[in-house]
Each structure stands twice: as structure tokens, then as C-alpha cells.
Amino acid sequence: MHEQEQEPSAEGGPWWREAVFYQLYPRSFADANGDGVGDLDGILARLEHLVWLGVDALWLSPFYRSPMADFGYDVSDHCDVDPIFGDLAAFDALLTEAHALGLRVIIDWVPNHTSDQHPWFLDAASSRDSEHRDWYVWRDPVEDGSPPNNWVAAFDLTAPAWTFHEPTGQWYLHLFDPAQPDLDWDQPAVVRAMHEVLQFWLDRGVDGFRADVLHTIGKFPDLPDDPPPVAGIPHCALNDVPVTHERIRAIRSLIDSYPDDRVLVGEIYLMTTDAIASYYGDGDEVHLAFNFPALYAPWDADRWRAAIEETEATLGSRGAWPTWVLSNHDNPRHRTRYDRAAIHRGEDAATTARRSEARARAAAVLLLTLRGTPFLYQGEELGLLDADIRPEQALDPGSRDGCRAPLPWDGSAGHGWSTGPGAGIDPWLPFPPEADVRNREALHTDPNSILHLYRRLLAVRRATPELRAGELELLDTPPGVLALRRSLGAGVCHVVINTTDAEVELSGVLVPVGSTLLIASDDLGRTGAARATSTDRFMLGADQAIILTV
């Protein structure tokens, strides 16, 4: 394996501005010890795939000790690896090898809550006078016996964000599952302990963190009710409190005190780009934040244009660097979402089957040509759909199993998933649809596959400074078409995306004479001169996306 050659940074900025991240969900990537659950050695054994693909950085979802009530987002020891995933030596080996291959590695840090099995909470729950009691948020019962406020927990929208703890006669707060009690960040000891966790991993050499629901570490001291119009929405999507910014600034200065541009990526789970943008601070809070309105945008040119305009306006005015993401471990994969939405709009099943992958290919072109740092989610390079999960197979309290299905590596019965002693064992969740043909090995041998499209997109992005770092302008288009102009110095690219099922003729403004087709989403062979004369017609195919140098 060879270390990747990274073009010099087009802007001379930190690495994460021009990197493409790849999210690994360790339970589902690859299983090296044959127990049916993915692990760190499995990732190590498959790093070559990521190098071949051409990503720059990995984000690992939690691998810490955990009772797995929320599959690792309920941490019972922040500074150790859960045995199901390996051990600290396996983590060190993975980090060392990733670095040797030129891949940066960021890890999840879960600051808002712990597991209810964490020694801190076990002590807190042992008595009202315990050392760690005030590390968590406890409230006395109100007279009528109802919870202390109207906050709703995530996962079960009928459930309050509070659980009554009989032995000590108080309610404790949990914005997520009852097995995930919220820490009280008003307590300096909590801040110190969670900063020490960051230091532990920074000292081990990680390149940064994806901070889980980072906007929730500050709460109004009197924990006021959510107002009636939004009551019923999980409180984690509403919590937006000034004191949090101060706390993030302290986290940022700790991270910035380490060399080599370590990065803080905030999961700021708020529903407007404007609200999210405020967590970039004055360049002194998160380096990057996920842009959820874009993740939730349907596959519709107008909606994407609006999301891009809003992102450019709100982040651009702060000098904040955008991120783009289509899929992650919390939401149906984008291919599945776009199909479901199309069916909901009345598209018939045969048409959806015909258009499904074409839409996913066009979406890949968009994701990898927007201005900002893209995040891929494992398996989107295979064009995976969500797995069908029968009720008796469901495991996740938040019904997110479908997008967490294991990756099919080959077309064999066990899909090359378990390579250890238990090879052939059933994985913890069923494989996604079409795994016989839609697996890494099969797509790798087909140069026209979506996998090769992702690889070519990453290569073109790497070789094209204007795509990595250029200005972005939205161009006028026919209906249903989205067009971006990316420019840096003399370098100019046009990206044109047809979200409709009909061919569209493009003007000479979008496809100027003399422009060169770098990528067509549906046909890798179709590259070269796009339009020779001003009278040539350029037809953009149904669901097709193209990148041109002009």
C-alpha cells in the first residue's frame, strides 16, 4: 500500500478544509474476530479500500466501553475500548497504520451524557450525598408527581426526558435513552473530567473529534419548559443556550493547544443553518459543524439551491467553513430517502427502480463538488440502500438499524464480512439489499460502477484546486436543474445536475464552447470536449450530473 499523494493545499489552510472524511461505524464495517460484530482489527484489515477510494480522513463512531443501549453512544469508560471492538493496542495499531497511509483519524467524543453503568453515575445514584451526585442533573418530584419539565427525550417521543429514581427519590435528566443520563456541565469537576478525556486521546495521537450533540452541554439553570409550539419535539433539537458557547471556546482552546491542526467537528443538532452557524463563534468554537438542513433536503433542485444559498449566506458572512453530508448512522441512507420520497410523490415502482442509483450517482457529484468539507458514510460508495429490518430483528431504540447494516465485501454467502474464526456467522444485522451483486468486490471489477464513480470524483477533486477551495456561485438553469460554478484564480469548473427524469438542453452559459467534460455521473467513458461550436446542442441526460472545466 502506498501513502496517498495529497495535492498541496490550494489555500494553505488547515488540512480539514480540503479533506474528504469517511465515517466508519465500527460495528458494521468489517468483523475480524468472527463474532458477528465489526471491530477495530476489521477496519485495519480493510484500510486499503479507503486508500484506494481516495478519502483523506476517517471519523470513527464510538468504540469505547459501553453496555450498548445506544450502540456505544452510552459510554461507561471513555478511555478504554469495548472488548467487542478490541483493545487500546488495537486502536493504537489502527491509528499508526492509518497515519502511515496518509489518513487522518478523528474519533467520537460524547460529552453530554454517559451510560447509566458509568462508575460516575453508579456512584451518583448510590445516594444523594455521593461524590458524583451533582455530576448529573437531578430534580425533586413536583407535587402532582409529573416530571420536572415538559422536555421530550429522543427515540421515544411519548417519553419524558426524565426518569424517576426510586431509591433516592429524585428524577434524573436524559435527553436520550434513560440509560444515558445527562452530565451537569455547570459542575467544574465534570468539565475537568471531560477535558481529561480529550487530552487522553489527543496524547494518543488522534487528529480531532466529532463531538456528539455538542450544543447540549449548556442548559438554562432553571430548565424551563419548551414553549407550546415546539413542545413534543425532542429537546435535543431545541437546546440552544448562550453558556454553551463559552464551554465550547474552552474545549477549542484545549484542542488548539496541540500541534498539527487537530479538528473539532460539532454535531450541532439544530434545525436551521443559521442556528448551527453560531457555534462556529468568531473562529473560536467548532472548526466544522454538520449542516443538518442540507442532510434533510429532498432530492429537488430548488430545495438544494435554497440550502446552498442559506449556507453560503450564513456561514460565508462569518468566514466559517461549511460541511456537507448526505447520510450517516442516524438517518435512512440518502438513496433510500430519495426513493421513498419519490414513491410518496407518486413515482411508480419500476421508475423508482430505474432511477434509484442514477439519483445516488448524481447526488455524489453534488456532495463532492460543493464548497466545504464533505463527509461520506460507509457504504454510500457502494450505493447501498437501507437493509430491510423485520420487527423481530430490530435492535436500535431509535429505529436506525436499516442504515447500520454490515458492508458486503464480496458475493460469497457470508459476503466476506467475518474473516476470523467464526467466518460465515450471521452478522448482528442483516445485509443490505442486492448484496450478492452490490458488494465491494463486484463493484470494484466493474469500471462503470458507482464505486468507481466515487473514486473518480475523489481523484478529480484532489486534482482540481477550484473544487476543493474555490468560490461557489449558483448559475441560472432550466427547471429541475442545479448548476454550480467553482472558481479559483484562472481555474473554473461548472457542475450541472439534472434532478428530473427528462433530458434537458443546456445553454452555452452552462456548457461553454471549448469546455471539457471531466465526469458524467452515468457514464465514465463519456469525457472529453463537451461542446465544439456554439451551435452544438449539449443534452444533459435524465438524472445525470456532469463536471466540466471551462
Positions in the binding site for ligand NOJ (CB under 6 A): 70, 73, 110, 176, 212-213, 267, 329-330, 398
How do 491-498 and 481-488 pair as beta strands?
antiparallel
CA 49 to chain centre: 19
How do 323-325 and 288-289 pair as beta strands?
unpaired
- CA–CA gap between residue 507 and residue 548 (Å, rounded): 14
- CA–CA gap between residue 185 and residue 198 (Å, rounded): 15
Does the active-site annotation cover 131?
no
324 close to 384: Cβ distance less than 8 angstroms: no
CA distances from 154 to 27, 102, 106, 178, 269 (A): 22, 37, 25, 10, 12
Amino acid at 428: W
145-158: b or e for each residue (b if 16 or more CB lie within 10 Å)?
A: eebbbbbbbbbeee
Cell of 150: 415538559
- 72 or 427, CB closer to ligand NOJ? 72
- 114 or 273, CB closer to ligand NOJ? 114
CA distances from 60 to 69, 200, 233, 439 (A): 18, 16, 28, 21
Smallest distance from ligand NOJ to CB 212, Å: 5
460 close to 68: Cβ distance less than 8 angstroms: no
How do 57-60 and 21-24 pair as beta strands?
parallel
Closest CA to 66 of 49, 46, 81, 44: 81
- 34 or 111, CB closer to ligand NOJ? 111
- 114 or 336, CB closer to ligand NOJ? 114
Smallest distance from ligand NOJ to CB 470, Å: 31
- CA–CA gap between residue 8 and residue 470 (Å, rounded): 14
Residue that has been written with the C-alpha cell 467537528 in this structure: 265
Identify each DSSP E strand in 412-511 by its residue range: 471-474, 481-488, 491-498, 504-506
Helix 243-256, helix 188-204: angle, nearest 10? 30
- 212 or 339, CB closer to ligand NOJ? 212
Smallest distance from ligand NOJ to CB 162, Å: 16
Does the active-site annotation cover 212?
yes
Cell of 19: 479533506
- 56 or 212, CB closer to ligand NOJ? 212
- 213 or 451, CB closer to ligand NOJ? 213
Three-class DSSP labels, 343-390: HHCCCCHHHHHHHHHHHHHHHHHHHCCCCCEEEEECCHHHCCCCCCCC
- 267 or 381, CB closer to ligand NOJ? 267
> Nearest residue to ligand NOJ, using CB?
73
215 close to 238: Cβ distance less than 8 angstroms: no
Catalytic residue (one of 82, 212, 401, 466):
212
Catalytic residue (one of 56, 74, 226, 267):
267
Smallest distance from ligand NOJ to CB 165, Å: 20
- 18 or 182, CB closer to ligand NOJ? 182
Amino acid at 550: V
Smallest distance from ligand NOJ to CB 328, Å: 7
- CA–CA gap between residue 266 and residue 281 (Å, rounded): 12
Helices (runs of H) and strands (runs of E) counted in the chain: 16, 21
Smallest distance from ligand NOJ to CB 329, Å: 6
Amino acid at 127: S
- CA–CA gap between residue 134 and residue 155 (Å, rounded): 26
Smallest distance from ligand NOJ to CB 396, Å: 9
Smallest distance from ligand NOJ to CB 219, Å: 16
- 25 or 138, CB closer to ligand NOJ? 25
Smallest distance from ligand NOJ to CB 496, Å: 33
Cell of 158: 411519548
- CA–CA gap between residue 101 and residue 492 (Å, rounded): 31
Residue that has been written with the C-alpha cell 419500476 in this structure: 350
Q: Which residues are catalytic?
A: 212, 267
